[in-house]
Structure 1
């Protein structure tokens, strides 16, 4: 059965909002059943999940947000973006929705790191996780090989690189990630770019990319949590 695409225009119309530490966060909820939290990647947004949204909503209560600095959520310029805060955001969203039972988590890329933090918190008694699925992402920082644009964003000139980052650069980056049979269409690239460009997003890319060294800082704690193997 073909996956059901949700056009970005429709996706945005279905968004809801809540306030997190003084910032407006856009989120989506659909379906009924056990809660399933979807955590998106860098540098895009929760629209990453739109092909899977309707099939998953037939079985779960699916929940997703554009994290702080991403998509249509707030993108404050004078802010130190942190994976630990993004995990706080996920928990705040669940509190906002009055989700009290253990949560299934599906994450990829940047979202993997947020999910790793939630998994560590689960074992610390600070979060209730029913299961966790990690898709592609840097679960082990020592095996991660940053792309050239990521290295440049992490450099002292990162603020300039971010502001110069455009739709063509995004297309080139995606060309290295997607396989030849799965590359996004020109229309999809336009949509992904509109999510990044929203609220002058390129001006903070050099701040969002600090998740890479943050992964190294949390490596031992996160790997230890994965090694416990008590969460499905």
Structure 2
């Protein structure tokens, strides 16, 4: 049964365009004027995660936001080796496509891992599509230090085991939804749980282009966090790029415990803790607070 796409989600889709990344169609949005700002979304959804803060950001920045391959409105090939490295290549390819050679970064979830990879390339002269400058990075909740990361049981099951491959065939069925929805709900704070309507929109994003078939494959990016941990951390410890972490503390995956680890590992760590009832999706749960702390970071750099 084909459900009608949510009106706001449809508007989001209609406002975007596509570019060719090595033969695959990558959806992205560019809007606004001012300094370039690259938004790197999380797993398992897409750029629509940024909708609550989008209108404010586009007043101040030229905002560039792609959907990663395997997610959202981008191509979702089944025979594909999804990886953080490849996602980073795609973001660099998009910036080259748009003739952009510097940008601020705002990242969330898997986007943090992609941002860490982009920063490592920036620091170690390893950029894939020509040189570009990172002006600042703002991290939202994500598993930046694998040693402090505590994924939910269902996530481990799906991306870490062969069961994910078996279950991918039944991803569209009600059982798959029943597995996913409790996992999602527990990642939000107690007072900001997704409404049934929001859950419906999330499911529409996952269903687009039969995306559930590849959900578990895209989810294997967690392995990259082991492989590249020390290279990423070395880049973060040595960089002169101004960084700020804005963290929702009750996120069971990467909440207050991840922020504490960030403070232990990163010199002169700039960490902002949100209200103690905010979870894994701060830009959806506390958009005004995220905007305030993000813009304060940018303003301080500009005044620098």
TM-score w.r.t. the length of structure 2 is 0.72
**3-state SS of 1:58 partner:** helix
Cα shift readout 1:167-204 (whole Å, capped 9, x = no counterpart) = 33332122110012111221111111111111111111
1:147 aligns with 2:152: yes
Equivalent pairs, count: 226
Listed as ranges, the gaps of 5+ residues in structure 1 are: 1-5
Counterpart position of 1:3: none
1:197 aligns with 2:197: no
Q: Is the 8 A contact 2:123 2:239 kept in 1?
A: no
Which structure has the larger Rg over C-alpha atoms? 2
Listed as ranges, the gaps of 5+ residues in structure 2 are: 1-6, 243-304
**3-state SS of 2:60 partner:** coil
Q: Is the 8 A contact 1:170 1:193 kept in 2?
A: no
The Cα of 1:158 is off from its aligned counterpart by 1.2
Counterpart position of 1:220: 230
Which shifted more, 15-24 or 159-168?
159-168
Counterpart position of 1:175: 185
Counterpart position of 1:135: 140
TM-score w.r.t. the length of structure 1 is 0.94
**3-state SS of 1:98 partner:** coil
1:187 aligns with 2:193: no
Counterpart position of 2:83: 82
Distance 2:168 2:203 in 1: 13
Counterpart position of 1:13: 14
Counterpart position of 1:123: 123
1:51 aligns with 2:44: no
